[in-house]
Structure 1
Amino acid sequence: MAIDPTAAANNSAAATGRTRMADSYETFMSLLTAQIKNQDPLSPMDSTQFTQQLVQMTGVEQQLLTNDLLEKLVTNTGSGIQTSVSLLGRDVRAVNSDAKLTAGKAEWSYKLDREATEVTIEVLNEFGKTVQIIKPTDNKAGDHTFTWNGKDRTDQQLPNGGTYTLKVTAKDSAGAAVPVTNFVQGIVTGVEQVNGQTLITVNGVKVGWEKVTSIAEAPKPPTTTPESEPAA
């Protein structure tokens, strides 16, 4: 892992500043205590000066703490953006239940933690209403892919562009719930920061970059062989 020399220098300077601040604060308090103990009771010290010094010392300490916090925020944000940008054009799989209906279909994958005897797949629209229910027959443990044809329960084709949510409910032979994880998979086409969170766009849906579970090279388009010209 490469080390940023500028960041390293800044960290070193900040650490030195904190050390000097701590030493100065201890020295200041020791001198102040000594002055108070040895002051003339008939001519007490003017408290205005050392009160101002104490306020200044406290202000510097608060500034150092603020700088530490800002440094952490910048580091976290920068690492998220840098990592996410490297995902552009890659084929990723991320934990997510949403998918866009595009060209008359939407696709998800889901993982059953163990074999189930009954699985119910529901497709919900943006208002949380169930528009389709499917009962798959392949309910073994592991990964499964579900492709929806965009038709609702009345066999009407829904318009493209809508975002739909996959809900999978699974039970075993004893009627106990089987844990299910939903995924979306596709090419990363965008990266952005929203309210301090780094989001990537996969199949038209925004997903937190930390939800990515696998990364692969984008599949290459098939090569076409030019047709040979007929003999004269």
Structure 2
Amino acid sequence: MVDAVSTTNAASRINTGGAMLASNFETFLSLLTSQLKNQDPLSPVDSNQFTAQLTQMAGVEQQLLTNDLLTSLLSAQQGAGLTGAANYIGKEATAVWSANKVEDGKATWSYELGEDAKAAKLQVLDSAGKVVWTGDATELKQGVHDFTWDGKTTAGGQVADGGVYTLKITATDTAGAAVDSQVLIRGRISGVELYDGQPYATIGASILPLTSLIALDEASTATPTETAESESLVSKVASALNPLNLFS
């Protein structure tokens, strides 16, 4: 198996390798010095062998410098990653992500069905993976649907604000076969930040990695109220300029 290497992991491996090389470099210098001090004056170290040892020492020193440069490049890459992620702020996004935080007594997700379903069961799990609520999905058509949990458990209790919960969906068709489905987080990206060298975006009460985003759209700058007021104003102006309804 080949594991993905994050910026943080890469920096850690470079630092570990650099420490090993530095240790080996110091050991090499000690051995070389001892060799020169204790060599037989009547049979000194061969000049070609001595030159080869010096060349190896220079190679190790060069590798240490390369590791330092790589660490600097990775640090710069982290800053560039955050700068690039800042371009996502203000955009409407859709992400494949199931974790969300309860705020004002509720949490909102979306779920997508690959085809029409006969039935679909929704489950809300707490941070320990325990199911706290179970219910049937009301929207079973193919496509994306929104779901808001009111924070009430199956036992009738109310969860506290601030807790992180995940949504799980299981859907089947008329033949009882599984229907492809996934849980989504949708909304406007309000901020970005770095965790372990990876950029994360804030959508509503959810913080998720940018790698989970599957769609981005330009956000509308006008609120629904502003849009309604604008349409009303246009209608009034049109009526004033067209008393005989010439354009109707």
1:178-223 deviations in Å (ceiling 9; x for gaps) = 2222111122233221112111122222100121122233443323
Between the aligned residues of both structures, percent identity stands at 30
- How many residue pairs match? The answer is 183
- Kindly indicate whether residue 184 of structure 2 is the aligned counterpart of residue 183 of structure 1: yes
Q: Structure 2 length as normaliser, TM-score?
A: 0.63
Corresponding position of 1:161: 162
Q: 1:56 aligned to 55, 58, 61, which one?
A: 58
Q: Secondary structure at the match of 1:210?
A: helix
Corresponding position of 1:145: 146
Residue pair 1:151, 1:158 contacting (<8 A) in 2 also? yes
Would you identify which runs of 4 or more consecutive aligned residues in structure 1 move more than 6 Å?
Answer: none
Q: What is the correspondence of 1:111-130 to structure 2 with a 5 Å cutoff?
A: 111-130=112-131
173 and 48 in structure 1: CA distance in 2 versus 1, 3 angstrom threshold: same
* C-alpha displacement of 1:69: 6.8
- Kindly indicate whether residue 133 of structure 2 is the aligned counterpart of residue 132 of structure 1: yes
Root-mean-square deviation (CA), in Å?
2.7
Residue pair 1:80, 1:209 contacting (<8 A) in 2 also? no
**Structure 2: 5+ residue stretches without partners:** 1-42, 230-248
Q: 1:106 is aligned with what amino acid?
A: A
Q: 1:59 is aligned with what amino acid?
A: E
* C-alpha displacement of 1:44: 8.2
Q: Secondary structure at the match of 2:51?
A: helix
**Structure 1: 5+ residue stretches without partners:** 1-41, 226-232
Q: 2:105 is aligned with what amino acid?
A: G
Q: Secondary structure at the match of 2:189?
A: strand
Give the stretch that moved more between structures: 123-132 or 149-158: 149-158
* C-alpha displacement of 1:65: 6.5
1:80 & 1:184 partners in 2: Cα distance?
22
* C-alpha displacement of 1:74: 4.4
1:39-88 deviations in Å (ceiling 9; x for gaps) = xxx998322233112321353256446635753x3465344312221122
189 and 44 in structure 1: CA distance in 2 versus 1, 3 angstrom threshold: closer
Q: Structure 1 length as normaliser, TM-score?
A: 0.67
Quick check: which one's helix share is greater?
A: 2
